[in-house]
Structure formats: structure tokens, C-alpha cells
């Protein structure tokens, strides 16, 4: 029996159209928007605007919010093709995959009118103010506070590992609004609130963190008496943790890294050509296993997409997928690096393949830490399995 991932002729045509757009408008050696070359970011911004003009950027969003009203499976095709080709939407995937949908679910009409159309047009970049120096995987232990001040709030604290903060116009910020142990916050998961804040406020300072991932990705963000209002609160005060759960589910399934793994693995025999048959049998066996793991991760992603659409998704579902895809990221990177060592530098497309594989390996090193560590995902999955067994 074989797995059938066929989504029908419309999805197949969409996939063909997207690949044609990427081929025409994205340079072959594009390795993402956030390199040392400013032209790469401009390529991504320009490509986002092109997708938006063709109603492909937010394909499955409702039409009233600037979307195309398509099915979740057509949006899944977009997600896969973008990740397979080094995410030429740049940081826009964050707004498309989870910031926008979360504002649709929890935002006021004013917030929806203000924030959703610019995302749908590809005009705005968001960053996520969650992790802190002593609150990463244990996010509920965060120390950034928002205290009442006249008719608004004053925010003070620090966030870390904040992607895209140097270029973002808005921040999806989680802060503590009630002290743990108070009536409003009997547990540390209580008393947290989401604020939607502008990044150009002088009370916000961003300090880049240089890493092997390149510029723009990771930053420290400091809030020094940042003034926000009740109109900036998403959802209700002290009830932000329920929104965080939604964010994690949308964020983790929205990163279709398996599509990039599968594209690179599938390209390897073509790049090596006649030398492919000379590879050690053990290495080719590992290559086959990685292709099988790509199919497994894809199947798990589709299951989570379906559950999410029906409103039946649980934390354990997203955690299981996240474990599978992050392990695939790292295991496939090791196999691809071993294959790359056998590539002749004068072979056709060798430069493209070697650059892609190196980039994939570098990004894979952080895969089991970003968006919630793999250890925390295993804890979430274990709790879900134990609860189901009772």
C-alpha cells in the first residue's frame, strides 16, 4: 500500500503555478531573505507583494479579511512550496500563518480592520515577544510586566531570541499583568496578557544577536516604560495563556520544513549523476530512510491541519508533529552533508546543491530548540498520551 498525498487537480495546478512564479521571480541561489545581502530581503518583499496581488499570499483567509477564500489544503500547498524554496515570503509567513488567524479568532473588529489588510497585502512584518532569558521553554515564568497606569499600561522587561525584531513594525507581546498567587493568577499560567505593540516606539530597544544563521534572525528586545492602551490588548486581560496555546498550534504546523528536506533529498541523485551508484550502500540506505521520514512528517502535518480546521486539535497533536519534523530536519541534514562530500564541484548544479545543503545544515542545528524545545514537546505529548490512557 502506498500513501496518497493527491489533493486534486486544482491543488496540483496551484503547485505548478507557484513553482513557475518562484522560478521567474526568485534567483536560483536565493537562500532566504535574511542574509548579509540586502537584495535578498528586497527579493522576498517584492515576491510577497506579487503573491498578494494574485491573492496567493493569504489564499485561505476569508475574503472579508483580504484573503482568497480557498481551502486549507490549497494554503497547505502554498506553505509547502514556499518552505521548499527557502521561504521567499521572508518573515511574512509569521503574519500569514498565525498572527493573522489569531487576530481573526481573538481580535476586536477594530484590531481586525487595522492589522489584517496590511498582512494580506504583504506590507507589514511582525515579531513575537515571548521568550525571555529565564523563560524559554517554561514560558509561563516570564518576568516582563505590564502594570496599570491611569487609562493604560506601562510595560517593562526583556525578550530574547526575537526573530526579525530589527525590521518588524509590530510585536505580538506576552506580558504579566497579575502577580502569581493573586486572586487573578492562582497559577503562573494565569495573569498573562497579549498586547499588539508598535516597534517604532522609543521605549523599545532592539539589540541584534549575531549567530551562524546570519543577520536579522535573533535579537534582544528591551521595554522601558512602554505605554500601551486597552485597545492594544488582544483578547481579555489576564487570559493570554489560552491564546498562546492557539499560537503554538498554528506556528508549529505552519513551518513545512519537511518540504525542503524532501526537495533536497530528491535532488541528490540528479546532482551526483553517475557517481550516485558509487555511494556506499549504507549512505544510500540512510537516504531512503530520510525520504520515508519526509512522508511521515508530511502525513502528520496533514493530520494536524485537518484537526486544526475542525477545531479538535490538542497540544499533543502539534507536539507529535513538531518532534517528527525537527528530528527530520537534523537527521536529513547529516545525510545530505555526507552526500554533499561526494559531489564533484564541476558537476552541473553542484554549487546550487552544496549551498542549499550547507544552509539546511546550519538551520537544522536550532530546529529542536526553536518554537519550543523538543524536550518540552515530548513532555506535552507524554501528558496527552497519559490523559488519553486514563
Number of domains, the chain:
3
Q: Are residues 383 and 261 in the same domain?
A: yes
More confident position, 52 or 213: 52
Sign (positive or negative) of CA dihedral 372, 380, 96, 33: positive
Same domain assignment for residues 119 and 165: no
| CATH code of 47's domain | 1.10.540.10
pLDDT digits (tens, 9 = 90+) for 317-346: 888 888 898 999 999 999 999 999 999 888
Q: Are 139 and 198 in the same domain?
A: yes
Beta carbons within 8 Å of 326's beta carbon, 6+ residues apart: 257, 367, 368, 374, 377
Kindly report whether the global pTM for this prediction surpasses the value 0.75: yes
Separation CA 293–CA 258 (nearest Å): 9
d(CA 250, CA 61): 14
Mean pLDDT of the 147-174 span:
94
Which pLDDT does position 214 carry in this prediction? 64
Mean pLDDT, rounded, for 254-282? 92
Asked if residues 248 and 308 have their Cβ atoms less than 8 Å apart, the reply is no
From the CB of residue 98, how many other CB atoms can be counted at a distance below 10 Å? 22
DSSP characters for 367-378?
TTTTTS-HHHHH
Q: What is the pLDDT of residues 95-148, one digit of tens each?
A: 988 999 999 999 999 999 999 999 999 999 999 999 999 887 788 999 999 999
d(CA 2, CA 101): 34
Residues 117, 171 within the same domain: no
Q: Do 115 and 138 reside in the same domain of the chain?
A: no
Q: For residue range 9-44, what is the model confidence (pLDDT) as tens digits?
A: 888 899 999 999 999 999 988 988 888 888 998 999
Q: Is the pLDDT of residue 50 over 80?
A: yes
Which residue among 93, 123, 153 closes a domain? Answer: 123
Query: Do 58 and 80 fall within a single domain?
Result: yes
List of residues 6+ apart from 197 with CB closer than 8 A: 129, 155, 170, 171, 173, 204, 226, 228, 232
In a domain, 4, yes or no: no
Residues 171 and 112 in one domain: no
Residues 97 and 37 reside in one and the same domain: yes
Identify whether residues 108 and 211 lie together within a single domain.
no
Instruction: Enumerate the β-bridge partners of residue 208.
Output: 219
Confidence of residue 268 (pLDDT cuts 50, 70, 90): very high
CATH number, domain with residue 324: 1.20.140.10
Q: Give the Cβ contact number of residue 378 at 10 Å.
A: 14
Same domain? For 340 and 360 the reply is yes
Is there a single domain that holds both residue 383 and residue 273?
yes
Q: Can you give the residue range of the structural domain that contains 268?
A: 256-389
Specify whether 207 is located in the same domain as 290.
Answer: no
Amino acid at each position: 500500500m502506498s500513501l496518497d498525498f493527491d489533493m486534486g487537480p486544482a491543488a496540483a495546478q496551484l503547485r505548478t503555478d507557484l513553482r513557475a512564479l518562484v522560478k521567474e521571480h526568485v534567483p536560483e541561489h536565493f537562500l532566504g531573505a535574511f542574509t548579509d545581502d540586502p537584495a535578498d530581503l528586497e527579493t522576498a518583499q517584492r515576491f510577497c507583494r506579487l503573491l498578494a496581488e494574485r491573492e496567493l499570499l493569504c489564499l485561505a483567509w476569508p475574503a472579508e479579511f483580504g484573503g482568497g477564500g480557498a481551502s486549507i489544503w490549497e494554503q497547505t500547498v502554498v506553505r509547502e512550496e514556499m518552505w521548499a524554496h527557502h521561504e521567499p515570503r521572508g518573515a511574512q509567513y509569521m503574519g500569514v500563518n498565525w498572527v493573522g488567524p489569531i487576530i481573526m479568532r481573538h481580535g476586536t473588529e477594530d484590531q481586525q480592520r487595522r492589522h489584517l489588510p496590511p498582512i494580506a497585502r504583504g506590507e507589514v512584518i511582525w515579531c513575537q515577544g515571548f521568550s525571555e532569558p529565564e523563560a524559554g521553554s517554561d514560558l509561563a515564568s516570564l518576568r516582563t510586566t505590564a502594570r496599570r497606569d491611569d487609562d493604560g499600561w506601562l510595560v517593562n522587561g526583556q525578550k530574547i531570541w526575537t526573530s526579525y525584531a530589527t525590521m518588524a513594525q509590530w510585536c505580538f507581546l506576552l506580558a504579566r499583568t497579575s502577580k502569581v498567587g493573586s486572586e487573578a493568577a492562582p497559577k503562573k499560567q494565569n495573569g498573562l496578557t497579549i498586547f499588539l505593540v508598535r516597534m517604532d516606539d522609543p521605549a523599545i530597544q532592539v539589540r541584534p544577536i549575531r549567530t551562524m544563521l546570519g543577520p536579522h534572525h535573533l535579537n534582544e528586545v528591551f521595554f522601558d516604560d512602554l505605554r500601551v492602551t486597552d485597545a492594544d490588548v488582544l483578547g481579555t486581560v489576564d487570559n493570554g495563556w489560552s491564546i498562546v496555546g492557539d499560537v503554538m498550534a498554528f506556528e508549529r504546523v505552519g513551518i513545512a520544513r519537511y518540504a525542503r528536506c524532501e526537495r533536497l533529498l530528491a535532488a541528490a541523485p540528479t546532482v551526483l549523476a553517475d557517481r550516485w551508484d558509487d555511494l556506499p550502500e549504507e549512505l544510500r540506505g540512510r537516504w531512503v530512510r530520510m525520504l520515508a521520514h519526509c512522508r511521515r512528517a508530511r502525513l502528520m502535518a496533514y493530520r494536524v491541519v485537518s484537526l486544526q480546521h475542525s477545531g479538535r486539535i490538542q497540544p499533543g497533536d502539534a507536539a507529535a508533529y513538531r518532534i517528527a519534523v525537527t528530528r527530520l530536519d537534523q537527521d536529513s541534514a547529516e545525510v545530505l552533508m555526507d552526500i554533499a562530500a561526494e559531489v564533484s564541484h564541476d558537476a552541473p548544479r553542484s554549487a546550487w546543491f552544496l549551498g542549499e545543503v550547507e544552509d539546511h545544515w546550519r538551520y537544522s542545528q536550532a530546529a529542536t530548540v526553536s518554537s519550543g524545545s523538543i524536550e518540552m514537546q515530548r513532555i506535552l505529548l507524554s501528558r496527552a498520551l497519559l490523559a488519553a490512557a486514563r
